[in-house]
């Protein structure tokens, strides 16, 4: 029977939404086979049942409760052990910071090809075809494995997670051999400005140099909180020290695909566009009518963001309280 291994992630006590997207993608590849999941992260026992709602029959648990922080080396070792144990026909995992670290390690150790940053999966003439963006999102390429098992990482917010009829999940603790580990996490320092993960947010409000100061980003945060979204930034805003680099979106920052992207005071340099051009709906606010951001925006507002954002926020407050 065909077996597809889906990698899931638990972070800060919750299963990341991309995990359910990976399981949905695995089901689209499966033709009557079984979906086996491995859940990486602390306190993973609590969340194994939710993976069953998206198709996982068996969930292998890798806990790091006794660790200072989750280590990619430990998780790579766990994934390698499981691959050798169950011999899957395909492997899918999230294209997250952890996935981008772990996937190449595992692929190299097993001599596998790896298709990264996949946004769509189709079965054509019995073969799995992966679609991924190239040239900063200006073009797309389709790839398939000519030999070896398919191994791919899935970009968040591109495959809509779909539940199945809930079935009982078989939970298995995976004991990881730690003798080969060469690194130990001594401390984890987190910089967070929002409870919503930027890479998984459905709504992102971003600011550029036009925001002018860190105080200006408070306006964006208020709007983002109102919409249940996250705040992002261009590199220019980060370089100007208006905000932390953890908010940077673009070619050298995070790549996101929210349902709604609001760009305030962002000119639209190609490096920034590479990180958000695949957003479902883009709204640009800029006082320069010739700003390049308007060329890719679905809706554009020519005006001062310090006038537009407060007006938009106030209007939404009234609408949402009705």
Per-residue model confidence (pLDDT) at position 188? 66
Mean pLDDT, rounded, for 217-224 = 94
Q: What is the pLDDT of residue 182?
A: 64
pLDDT band at 146 (very low <50, low <70, confident <90, very high): confident
Would you give the distance in Å from CA 121 to the centre of its chain? 16
Average pLDDT over residues 286-306: 96
pLDDT of residue 138: 80
CA dist 86 and 74 (Å) reads 19
Q: Does residue 225 have a pLDDT over 90?
A: yes
3-class SS letters over the chain: CCEEEEEEEEECCEECHHHHHHHHHHHHHCCCCEEEEEEECCCHHHHHHHHHCCCEEEEEEECCCCCCCCCHHHHHHHHHHHHHHHCCCEEEEECCHHHHHHHHHHHHHHCCCCEEEECEEEEECCEEEEEEEECCCCEEEEECCCCCCCEEEECCCCCCCCCCCCCCCEEEECCCCCCCCCCCCCCCCCCCCCCCCCCCCCEEEEECHHHCCHHHHHHHHHHHHHCCCEEEECHHHHHCCCCCHHHEECCCCECCCCCEEEEECCCCCHHHHCCCCCCCEEEEEECCCCCHHHHCCCEEEECCHHHHHHHHHHHHHHHHCC
Band of the pLDDT at 273, cuts 50, 70, 90? very high
Question: Considering the chain, what is the average pLDDT of its residues?
Answer: 88
Query: Is 234 within any annotated ligand binding site?
Result: yes
Task: Answer yes or no: is 250 a known binding residue.
Answer: yes
Tell me the backbone φ, ψ of residue 258, rounded to 5 degrees: -75, 170
Contacts of 175 (CB under 8 A, 6+ apart): none
Percentage with pLDDT > 70 across the chain: 89
68 — pLDDT class (breaks 50, 70, 90): very low
Fold match between 3-173 and 203-320? yes
The pLDDT of residue 181 is above 80: no
Distance (Å, rounded) from C-alpha 119 to C-alpha 2? 23
Confidence grade of residue 174 (pLDDT, cut at 50, 70, 90): confident
Q: How confident is the model at residue 75 (pLDDT cuts 50, 70, 90)?
A: confident
Residue 177 among known ligand-binding residues: no
Residue 195 annotated as binding? no
Mean pLDDT calculated for residue range 184-204: 74
Question: pLDDT at residue 301 above 90?
Answer: yes
* 3-173 has CATH 3.50.50.60 classification: no
251 appears as a binding residue in the annotation: yes
Contact between 281 and 262 (Cβ < 8 Å): no
Average confidence (pLDDT) over 181-194:
63
Q: Which of 60-69, 84-93, 143-152, 251-260 has the lowest mean pLDDT?
A: 60-69
pLDDT at 90: 94
Question: Could you tell me the residue ranges of all domains in the chain?
Answer: 3-173, 203-320
* Angle CA 200–201–207, to nearest 5: 120
Task: Tell whether 286 is in a known binding site.
Answer: yes
- Identify the band that residue 64 occupies on the pLDDT scale cut at 50, 70 and 90: low
Angstrom distance (rounded) from CA 304 to CA 190: 33
Mean per-residue pLDDT for 18-31?
91
Q: Which class does domain 203-320 fall in?
A: alpha beta
Task: Judge whether 268 is annotated as a binding position.
Answer: yes
Q: Is 249 annotated as a binding residue?
A: yes
Residue 279 marked as a ligand binder: no
Burial of 269 (0-12, 13-18, 19+ CB in 10 A): middle
Q: Is 283 annotated as a binding residue?
A: no
Residue 177, Cα to own-chain centre: how many angstroms? 28
- Residue 194 is predicted with a pLDDT of 57
- What integer pLDDT is reported at residue 95 of this predicted model? 94
Q: Which residues pair with 203 in a beta bridge?
A: 260
Higher pLDDT, residue 185 or 241: 241
Q: Is 236 annotated as a binding residue?
A: no
**Interval 102-131 mean pLDDT:** 92
Specify which of 41-45, 65-69, 161-165, 238-242 reaches the highest per-range mean pLDDT: 238-242
pLDDT at 71: 73
């Amino acid at each position: 029977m065909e077996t597809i291994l889906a990698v899931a992630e638990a972070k800060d006590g919750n299963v990341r939404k991309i995990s359910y997207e990976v399981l949905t993608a695995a089901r689209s590849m499966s033709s009557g086979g079984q979906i086996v999941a491995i859940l990486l992260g602390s306190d993973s026992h609590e969340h194994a049942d939710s993976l069953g709602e998206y198709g996982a029959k068996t969930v292998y648990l890798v806990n790091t409760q006794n660790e200072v922080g989750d280590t990619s080396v430990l998780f790579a070792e766990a994934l390698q052990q499981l691959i050798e144990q169950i011999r899957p026909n395909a492997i899918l995992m999230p294209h997250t910071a952890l996935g981008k670290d772990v996937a190449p390690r595992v692929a190299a150790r097993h001599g596998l090809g790896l298709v990264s940053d996949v946004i769509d999966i189709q079965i054509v003439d019995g073969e799995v075809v992966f679609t991924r963006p190239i040239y900063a999102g200006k073009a797309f390429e389709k790839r398939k494995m000519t030999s070896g098992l398919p191994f791919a990482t899935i970009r968040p917010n591109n495959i809509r997670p779909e539940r199945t009829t809930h079935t009982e999940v078989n939970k298995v603790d995976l004991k990881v051999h730690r003798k080969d580990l060469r690194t130990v996490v001594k401390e984890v320092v987190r910089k967070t400005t929002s409870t919503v993960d930027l890479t998984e947010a459905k709504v992102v409000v971003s600011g550029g140099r036009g925001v002018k100061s860190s105080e200006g980003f408070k306006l964006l945060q208020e709007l983002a909180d109102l919409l249940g979204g996250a705040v992002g930034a261009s590199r220019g805003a980060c370089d100007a020290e208006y905000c932390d680099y953890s908010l940077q979106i673009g070619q050298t920052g995070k790549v996101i695909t929210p349902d709604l992207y609001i760009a305030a005071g962002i000119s639209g340099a190609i490096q920034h566009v590479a990180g958000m051009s695949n957003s479902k709906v883009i709204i640009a606010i800029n006082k320069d009518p010739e700003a390049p951001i308007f060329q890719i925006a679905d809706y554009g507002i020519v005006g001062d963001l310090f006038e537009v954002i407060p007006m938009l926020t106030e209007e939404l407050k009234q609408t949402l309280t009705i």
